[in-house]
């Protein structure tokens, strides 16, 4: 069953005289329970694509549908409600509130909802169990390591049991041990909770956890790779595709 469908998405930034084409006529679908990666050189449009699909940024052209709801024709207040109820986000810079505790950060997405205290506590317990965060609950974010913060960001993203989880370079600032740990959690959430995941990444190892990868270059669709069950094999295919696609203009400009 299809959960996300995007049709002919285009997005420009910049001015009329000096436009930057960030996305150019992109279409694809994601099935419920899929773990899909978005890859491509720096500046390819990965973050813009995630932002357009999660409705943080409006496309110039095209349609975004999640769970049969057309996000691109919703009003702002409808969108805000939809995002809160159905979507989760893990940002590269965590976006946690440093002065608050782990627990306070985790339940933040639920505190403005009409959820009862007992239910909030039950969700918190579940997330703590899935991510093994219980021991850190009373610590302030400012007292945590980068890897621990990343886990809290992950917990906060899944506490509302989202249908879709968006992650932008979730392992970008982690060492390989913490990265592997986070990826194992994402895999667990994907398999046990059936959460669909859309993740942008530069990193072939991170991407090798996906079921499928969509490569974009200069804002356009470039290629697609499907996993076949063997992660090492998939990793090598990803590396080869990265060689084929080359670097971003930013890095090529000498």
Ligand X SMILES: Nc1ncnc2c1ncn2[C@@H]1O[C@H](COP(=O)(O)OP(=O)(O)OP(=O)(O)O)[C@@H](O)[C@H]1O
b/e 193-226 (16+ beta carbons within 10 angstroms → b):
eebbbbbbbbbbbbbbbbbbbbbbbbbebbeebe
Among ligand X, Mg ion, none, what binds residue 13 when CB lies within 5 to 8 Å by partner kind? ligand X
Q: Cα(251)–Cα(242) distance, rounded to whole angstroms? A: 14
Which residues lie below 8 Å from residue 152, measured CB to CB, with a gap of 6+?
Answer: 94, 96, 102, 105, 106, 133, 136, 141, 144
Strands (E), the chain: 2-14, 19-31, 35-39, 61-66, 69-70, 87-90, 164-168, 196-200, 212-217, 220-226
Residues 46-65 that bind ligand X (CB under 6 A): 46-48
Q: Is residue 171 part of the contact set for ligand X (CB under 6 A)? A: no
CB 231 within 8 A of CB 183: no
Among Mg ion, ligand X, none, what binds residue 109 when CB lies within 5 to 8 Å by partner kind? none
- Smallest separation, CB 119 to Mg ion (Å): 35
Residues 74-103 vs ligand X: string with x where CB under 6 A?
------------------------------
Binning the chain into helix, strand and coil, the percentages to the nearest 5 are 40, 25, 30
Among ligand X, Mg ion, none, what binds residue 242 when CB lies within 5 to 8 Å by partner kind? none
For Mg ion, the nearest residue by Cβ is 47
Judged by CB under 6 A, the number of residues near ligand X is: 13
The SS3 assignment for 173 reads coil
Q: Is residue 47 part of the contact set for Mg ion (CB under 5 A)? A: yes
Part in contact with ligand X (CB under 6 A); list of ranges 14-22, 139-147, 181-189, 226-234: 14-22
- Smallest separation, CB 59 to ligand X (Å): 12
Q: Is residue 242 part of the contact set for Mg ion (CB under 5 A)? A: no
Q: Cα(91)–Cα(206) distance, rounded to whole angstroms? A: 15
Using alpha carbons, select from 167, 192, 9 the residue that is nearest to residue 88: 167
- Smallest separation, CB 96 to Mg ion (Å): 19
Judged by CB under 5 A, the number of residues near Mg ion is: 2
- Which of 43, 59, 88, 170 lies at the binding interface for ligand X (CB under 6 A)? 43
- Which of 22, 152, 165, 225 lies at the binding interface for ligand X (CB under 6 A)? 22
Part in contact with Mg ion (CB under 5 A); list of ranges 38-46, 76-84, 132-140, 224-232: 38-46
Q: Return the number of the residue (33 or 172) whose C-beta is nearest ligand X.
A: 172
Using alpha carbons, select from 186, 176, 175 the residue that is nearest to residue 209: 186
Token pair for 47: 């973050």
Under the rule (CB under 6 A), what is the footprint of ligand X?
13-14, 20, 22, 40, 42-48, 202
Under the rule (CB under 5 A), what is the footprint of Mg ion?
46-47
């Amino acid at each position: 069953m299809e959960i996300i469908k995007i049709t002919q998405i285009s997005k420009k930034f910049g001015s009329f005289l000096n436009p930057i084409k960030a996305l150019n006529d992109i279409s694809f679908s994601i099935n419920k329970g899929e773990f899909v990666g978005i890859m491509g050189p720096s500046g390819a449009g990965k973050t813009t694509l995630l932002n357009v699909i999660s409705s943080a940024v409006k496309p110039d052209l095209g349609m975004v549908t999640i769970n049969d709801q057309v996000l691109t024709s919703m009003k702002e207040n409808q969108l805000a409600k939809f995002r809160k109820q159905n979507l989760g986000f893990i940002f590269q810079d965590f976006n946690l509130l440093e002065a608050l505790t782990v627990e306070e950060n985790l339940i933040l997405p639920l505190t403005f909802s009409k959820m009862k205290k007992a239910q909030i506590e039950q969700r918190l317990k579940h997330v703590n169990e899935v991510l093994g965060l219980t021991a850190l609950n009373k610590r302030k974010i400012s007292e945590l390591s980068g890897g621990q913060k990343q886990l809290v960001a992950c917990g906060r993203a899944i506490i509302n049991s989202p249908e879709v989880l968006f992650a932008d370079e979730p392992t970008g600032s982690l060492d390989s041990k913490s990265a592997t740990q986070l990826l194992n959690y994402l895999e667990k959430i994907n398999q046990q909770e059936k959460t669909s995941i859309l993740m942008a990444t530069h990193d072939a190892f991170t991407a090798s956890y996906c079921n499928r990868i969509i490569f974009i270059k200069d804002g356009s669709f470039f290629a697609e790779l499907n996993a076949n069950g063997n992660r090492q094999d998939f990793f090598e295919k990803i590396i080869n595709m990265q060689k084929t696609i080359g670097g971003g203009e930013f890095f090529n400009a000498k």
